[in-house]
Amino acid sequence: MGRIYNFSAGPAMLPVEVLKEAADEMLDYRGTGMSVMEMSHRSKAYEVIIKEAEKDLRELMNIPDNYKVLFLQGGASLQFAMIPMNLMKNKVSDHIITGQWAKKAYQEAKIYGTANVIASSEDKTFSYIPDCSDLPISENADYVYICENNTIYGTKFKKLPNTKGKLLVSDVSSCFLSEPVDVTKYGIIYGGVQKNIGPAGVVIVIIREDLITEDTLPGTPTMMKYKTHEKEGSMYNTPPAYGIYICGKVFKWIKNKGGLEAMKAHNEKKAAILYDFLDQSKMFRGTVVKEDRSLMNVPFVTGNEELDAKFIKESKAAGFENLKGHRTVGGMRASIYNAMPIEGVEALVAFMKKFEAENL
């Protein structure tokens, strides 16, 4: 069997060029006689890999010098705890609840202090982004927390919330490097890499340097202090070395494609193919309000559970993998991250048209 179109929400497709290059280097990484997987993270060869990965990411995202880049472990979920442990000086955080991941981060923050819900779209199954122009920001909030792209529900903040001068902390796991961002608008911008960048487990934290202090909540484990990792250049302990190496390759792949502006154009083109079809279909419809639609995750339904199940079964047989929607939304979801080629989305739409013609 050849490669299929994998519409998984994550782990997700990686660029074929990257996978091939990694395969070529698997037994002998550039004359070292070993795989990067077998290499000491303290070796000269690995130092080049991690330094270059950071340099390329800085270039791609235009990360200012007063922001640190940390390659950490524990996935995005460990950040749900690390963020309050490191930032909650007043023990207050404000949260905008736009889905399950935002909620999990909020629930974790509650363990460490007073976490407030200042806006939510739960009333309509998270199918929109709440108005964030005039939020009831807490006077002593240490930060305002958002999940910028909601993987499960397919919504995206098109405009960042007005935090009234408070720090913004954003989980960009499912929109990382999908379009340009202004890093200076954030205190922390972070994400797990398993959707747009690399193998699961690695989380990249981009943090303004003045937020990295020894002044963490009492009891914060050494491994969960940003300071520990910043001091050691993400090498306090053995980093997820192979994962970071793949991330580095993906950064170069994006650079070669023209950077984040080019990624945005590529992603807009793909998303438009799918959304345009959904908007005129007599069988399928998108579940998100138009203005808040994600470029990365596209949930859709037929409105008939049996038909949804038939579609999922037949699409799988036709080589379209992982189109089943999250259990809280039902229906289908196509995740079309950076590495999904236009042809994949075109093929999916052609299949949907055929299915509609056969089943309407």
| CA torsion angle 153 157 161 167 (round to 10) | 90
Nearer to ligand PLP, 29 or 106 (CB): 106
Closest distance between ligand PLP and the C-beta of residue 151, in Å?
3
- Tell which one of 83, 147, 334, 349 touches ligand PLP (CB under 6 A): 147
Binding mask 68-97 for ligand PLP (x = CB under 6 A): -------xxx--------------------
Site for ligand PLP in 154-193 (CB under 6 A): 171, 173-174, 192
Site for ligand PLP in 243-262 (CB under 6 A): none
Residue 318's nearest CA partner among 3, 2, 4 is: 4
Distances 243 to 37, 49, 50, 145, 189 between C-alpha atoms, Å: 9, 11, 10, 27, 19
Closest distance between ligand PLP and the C-beta of residue 200, in Å?
6
What is the radius of gyration, based on Cα positions, of the chain? 21
Strands (E), 90-235: 92-97, 114-120, 143-147, 149-150, 155-156, 168-171, 188-192, 203-208
Q: Please, what is the end-to-end C-alpha distance for the chain in angstroms? A: 31
Sign of the CA dihedral running 261, 262, 264, 269? positive
Count of residues in contact with ligand PLP, rule CB under 6 A: 12
Check 56, 142, 171, 308 and give the catalytic one. 171
Closest distance between ligand PLP and the C-beta of residue 349, in Å?
24
Task: Please indicate whether residue 253 is annotated as part of the active site.
Answer: no
13 interacts with ligand PLP by CB under 6 A: no
145 interacts with ligand PLP by CB under 6 A: no
Check 68, 156, 166, 195 and give the catalytic one. 195
Task: Please indicate whether residue 131 is annotated as part of the active site.
Answer: no
Distances 156 to 112, 115, 161, 233, 255 between C-alpha atoms, Å: 27, 22, 12, 32, 24
Q: Residue positions in the annotated binding site for pyridoxal 5'-phosphate?
A: 76-77, 101, 151, 171, 194, 237-238
Q: Which residue is nearest to ligand PLP (CB)?
A: 75
Q: At what angle do helices 241-257 and 44-61 cross, to 10 degrees?
A: 40
Closest distance between ligand PLP and the C-beta of residue 261, in Å?
23
Closest distance between ligand PLP and the C-beta of residue 165, in Å?
25
The DSSP bridge pattern shows strands 297-301 and 285-286 to be antiparallel
The DSSP bridge pattern shows strands 168-171 and 155-156 to be unpaired
Nearer to ligand PLP, 157 or 355 (CB): 157
| Residues of the shown chain interacting with ligand PLP in the complex, contacts defined by CB under 6 A | 10, 75-77, 101, 147, 151, 171, 173-174, 192, 200
Provide the annotated active-site residues. 101, 171, 195
